[in-house]
Each structure stands twice: as structure tokens, then as C-alpha cells.
Chains A and B, each alone.
Chain A
């Protein structure tokens, strides 16, 4: 508390121009940057998995299981930055039991639960049920118990039962795709619907969030697949990677076009807020917007991936490119979230001045805590990959 006030006095000394006195404090910090980032990774990874399942793009098979487990691992953590950011975290459940129908945020709990429990959980469960039954028979001790419990003590792995699993799994995925769209489009709506804030308030926000989500999710799965193959000393399936890279390219292009459209529209209509926002992007957001998000996170990946569509260098070189590009893209999307969330709070709603962002290394809202929320999903993923290794599954053709 004392630190917090001390921090605010420091920010006060750095205020440029005039901000309303209550605006000196930045209300949504780095944890709220993580929230759309993580949910975006979930939605993107899931959509990549569905490409294989629904649209029967068989070439993506090696990443199907990884994509699903990645989505699930990040989904489990998605709410944590939000809840720990609340002024009264112990009251978080109120959002579920007494949701306010006109609030965009109130729907979050339901969208989240629907997506986590109904879509992701069910899809993974039906996809793994037969394998869990088999693995339970092959294992001993706690692992055996774990598989038995996870498969809910079912034992029927007759072709008829497995076919039913597959059918239900397919239906869940079909429901899942619009749900993934809903989940992340909705996160965009939380920001896009705030008419008080011209940096957020655009109808394009949900669409931009959705496409940037797909970009980040696909990049993450690509990276996890490559790293995992290295660890397991397996050969990379270059056809699969080339295909993912192709999708990444197209979606990145759409994302870039949408964000470009948003900015062109802002510049052309030049509303009341224009001068204030202009100064913001060329001042406090210059590096995070133009360099990290724009140049390194978008332009360089688009140019590289675009070139790969016409000219294919040797697999060795492509491997290196496919290692580095997802990192750039993931960083770019992180800064996109940063520019939206933090950028949207740096200027005053009076358009007469700017506050600044200052957070500490430690503490509940510090950088270390944020890093923890980003690392935990990878630990969960590692555990899930150990428990439910997609490469040990019996080959099923999702037909």
C-alpha cells in the first residue's frame, strides 16, 4: 500500500500535460495484458487443431494433439491473471452467480466455462478415452489409477464405442470452432465497447483480436511442435510445418490488413481524439507499436513467410526460420496486447495529457508474477504431454 502510493507520486511527477487526477493511476496493468494474450493463444491453438479435425487437413495431423493440449494448458491459467488483479479476488465468484446482464465482462465466466469444460475438456476426453483405457491396462500404480479415473472407469473399447467417441468428438469440435471465435471475439468486445476510450472503441476490435489470436496460437503450436520434436529426437515433418507456415502467413496478412484498416480509418476520419492519439503512438508507444509489434512482430514475419510461398530454401534453413519466426510473432502479438491495454490508459480522456506506466519487478502485479503466469501453462503442458502423449495414441483417422 505504501509502495503503491509512493509509486503514484513518482508517476505524478512524470505526468505530461493534464490528466484527470483519478487517471494518474493506470488501472489495468501487465496482468490484464496477459489475459487477452493467453486467451488468444488458446483460441488460436484450438482453431489450428480444428483445421485437422473438421476440415480434414490431414497434413496437420502431427500437431493435432499438441494443439489441443496446448490450448487446454493455457485455458486452465487464462483466468488467473484476471482474478489476481481484482481488488477483491475472493469475490470473483459473484461474476458467476450474480452476473449483470448488460455487462460485457459478466459473460466472461460463462464463455470461459463453456469453452473450457464443454469444448476443450470434452474434445480431449473423447479423443483420448480409448487410449486411456489401454494405457490403464498397461500401467501400474498411481499412473494406472490416474488413467482409470480420467477415463471415468470406462472399459469399452469396441470399434462401435470408439466410433461413437469419434462422432461425439467431431460434433464437439464443430461446436468448438464458433466457440473459439466467440471466446476471443468477445475478449475484443470488452475493449471495443468502451465508448469512453477512443483507442479501444472500434467495431473492428473483436475481429482484430480474433485474427491476432489465431496468429499467436498457430505460432505457439508451431514452436511447441518443433521444440518437442527436438527433445524427443524425432524428425520434423516438414510438409506439416510448411502447411502451418502457409496458414500463419495468410492469417497474419489478414490481421495486418485489419489493423492497418483500423489505423487508416483513424487517420482519415481524424476525430476529436486524433491529436492526442497521434502523439501517443509516436511518443510513448513508438517502440512497442512500430518496432516490436509492427516491424519485428508483423512485417518481418510476413515478408519471410511470403517469400517462402514462392521460394523454398533447403529444409535445414526452413527449420531455422520456423524456429525463429514463431518467437517473433509471439512477441509481436504480446506487444499488440500491450499497446491496446496499456496504451489505452496512457492518455487522458480529456485528451490534454499523458500518464506513464510503472510497475515493479516483484509483487502481485509485477513483472515476475506475469512471468509466472506465462510459465505455468508450459509446466501444465509438459505434464499433460507426459500423461497423454499424442504420439503414443493409436492412429485414428478422424473421418
Chain B
């Protein structure tokens, strides 16, 4: 009796096993190979303009004018919890300690974080929306209020946003906040309203050292492409594969 049970169950096992193996083989054969490299090297919006941003850390003097201009141009609340654009000061001390600061987003300027003798190096990093090509914030928005324009700019339809804050959680760069009066999410638009008039975004126009560059990544002769070709550029948190289009020159590994 026992033997019979064993035989039966063995047969069942082979039967199920064969079906499963066959199924897996079929499913695998029908998969189209995914070419990661191809996707990474070609912009999804290959026709027309495809905006990218470059920031030269070597040129930033930490004046904070970009952060202030952004607040004025876009009516961002003045309290120090709401920023579309801000500047961080990094101070690496001789003992390896890393100090990061951004008091009021850098609008009021910075103080030296440590005595000069203790400082190994110090630099400023302007931050803003990375306008990612594979933006996690767009992916998670439950109603599609956040979207990417044809030009590769990530925007929010504030008439449509329900204020669930999922995108705020999903942005690895801390670039989103809930507008305290509107109850909807707010973020950098790359001054879309100015771009449409042929003007530069406010933070780019005001930068006294031209540390900020932006332009059409699809145009081989654009300023941004020139910048990318002539500098060793890097995005923040590349391992997250967000398709960030904010490229920094001279980005230190301490910057996160």
C-alpha cells in the first residue's frame, strides 16, 4: 500500500515537474531581451528638445542667489522648509569628518563650518530637481498628476494632485514638498513658464559665476553637450538608476 502511494506521488511529481519546467522554458523563450545600455544612451524623447542641466561645482561660490531667485520667481513659501532650489556647503575636515549645512537653503549665505586649519577641503553644491528620465516620483503618483513633458521636464498638475505625498517619499533627492497653503505637492519646473518665453530659468539667469548651464541634450552643439564633453560629469546617487539629467562637474563622492 505504501509502495503504491510512493509510486503515485512520484509520478505526480514528474508530471507536475515537467509541466512547470515546460512552462518556464516557454515563458523564457518569449521574453524579449532588455537592452539596458541602449535605453541608457538614448533619450526616450529623441525628437525635439530634451533638456539637461549642468552644474560646475568648481564655479559655485555659495552666494545663494539661485535659491532666493527661485523663491521669488515661483512664489515658494519663505519659511526654511520649502525649497525648489537650495545650496549645500560641504566641509571635509582633516580628520575625515564631513560637515554639511544649508541654513535657510543658503539664501542668507554661509559661515565657515570649522577653523581654517582643520579644513581639508570645502565646496558648495547647488541642489534642485534632477528632472530624471526614469523619475521615481512620476512612477508612483497614483493619479498621474506628476508627469514628464516631451522636453524631459518633470511637472506637477496642481489642479489634479491629491496631496498623498507618495512622490515626496519616492524622490531620492528631497526635491519635493507639500505646499502649506495649497495642500498639493510643489517642485522645480525648470521655470517652464520662462522657458516657453525663450528665457532662462531664474536660478540660471541670476548665477553670477555661470556655474549653472542648461540646454538641449539632443542638440550636439548645445552648451550642455559642450559642458558634458569637456568635464568629468557625474549625477548624484547613480546607483538608483533614476535617469537623472542633472550633471555635476567635480562632484565629490561625499555628496548625497
Contact = CB atoms under 8 A, between A and B. Distances in A.
Contacts of B256: 349-352
Contact of B142 (A5, A24, A103): A103
Given A196-B169, A352-B100, A23 B180 contact: no
* Residue among B141, B144, B173, B175 with max Cβ neighbours from chain A (10 Å): B144
B105 A105 contact: no
A158 interface: no
Given A87-B163, A88-B161, A350-B174, A103 B168 contact: no
A88 B163 contact: yes
Contacts of A195: 136, 172, 240
Nearest to A11: B81
B214 interface: no
Interface in B106-158: 127, 136, 138-144
B13 interface: no
A197 B169 contact: yes
B83 interface: yes
A98 interface: yes
Contacts of A283: none
A98 B157 CA distance: 14
Interface string B79-120: 111110010100000000011111001000000000000000
B166 interface: yes
Contact of B140 (A1, A87, A104): A104
Nearest to A97: B143
Interface in A46-91: 82, 85-88, 91
B183 interface: yes
Interface stretch (A14-22, A296-304, A320-328): A14-22
A102 B174 contact: no
Nearest to B241: A195
Nearest to A87: B163
Q: Label chain A's interface by main secondary structure.
A: loop
B181 A100 contact: no
B233 interface: no
A228 interface: no
* Residue among A17, A99, A106 with max Cβ neighbours from chain B (10 Å): A106
Contacts of A102: 138-140
Contacts of A8: 79, 81
A174 interface: no
B146 to A, nearest CB: 9
Nearest to A195: B240
Contacts of A12: 80-81
B189 interface: no
Interface string A194-216: 11110000000000000000000
B165 interface: yes
Contact of B169 (A5, A92, A194): A194
A99 B160 CA distance: 12
A28 interface: yes
A100 B184 contact: no
A17 B100 CA distance: 8
A21 B80 contact: yes
B174 A23 contact: yes
A25 interface: yes
Contacts of A1: 180-181
Contacts of B140: 102-105, 193-194
A88 B183 contact: yes
Interface in B157-205: 160-166, 168-178, 180-185
Contacts of A23: 174
A196 B240 contact: yes
Nearest to B106: A21
A18 B101 contact: yes
A201 to B, nearest CB: 10
B174 A94 contact: no
A94 B162 contact: yes
Interface in A301-331: none
A331 to B, nearest CB: 26
Given A21-B83, A87-B178, A196-B136, A105 B172 contact: no
A88 to B, nearest CB: 5
Given A18-B101, A87-B184, A28 B165 contact: yes
* Residue among A1, A21, A108, A190 with max Cβ neighbours from chain B (10 Å): A21
A257 interface: no
Given A98-B144, A104-B140, A196-B170, A5 B162 contact: no
Contact of B98 (A86, A197, A352): A352
A21 B89 CA distance: 13
Contacts of A99: 142-143
A25 B181 contact: no
A172 to B, nearest CB: 28
Contacts of A5: 79, 81, 180
B142 A105 contact: yes
Nearest to A32: B165
Given A87-B183, A98-B144, A100-B142, A348 B174 contact: yes
Contacts of B184: 87-88
9 contacts: A21-B86, A21-B105, A27-B169, A87-B178, A100-B143, A102-B140, A103-B142, A103-B166, A348-B174
Interface of A: 1, 4-5, 8-9, 12, 17-25, 27-28, 82, 85-88, 91-92, 94-95, 98-100, 102-106, 108, 190, 193-197, 345, 348-353
Given A95-B162, A351-B256, 15 more contacts: A4-B180, A18-B99, A18-B101, A21-B102, A22-B168, A22-B176, A87-B162, A91-B160, A94-B162, A99-B142, A105-B142, A105-B166, A106-B142, A194-B136, A352-B98
Interface of B: 79-83, 86, 88, 98-102, 105, 127, 136, 138-144, 160-166, 168-178, 180-185, 240, 256
* Interface pairs A-B: 9 shortest CB-CB: A87-B163, A20-B174, A87-B183, A196-B172, A18-B100, A100-B144, A106-B142, A105-B142, A27-B165
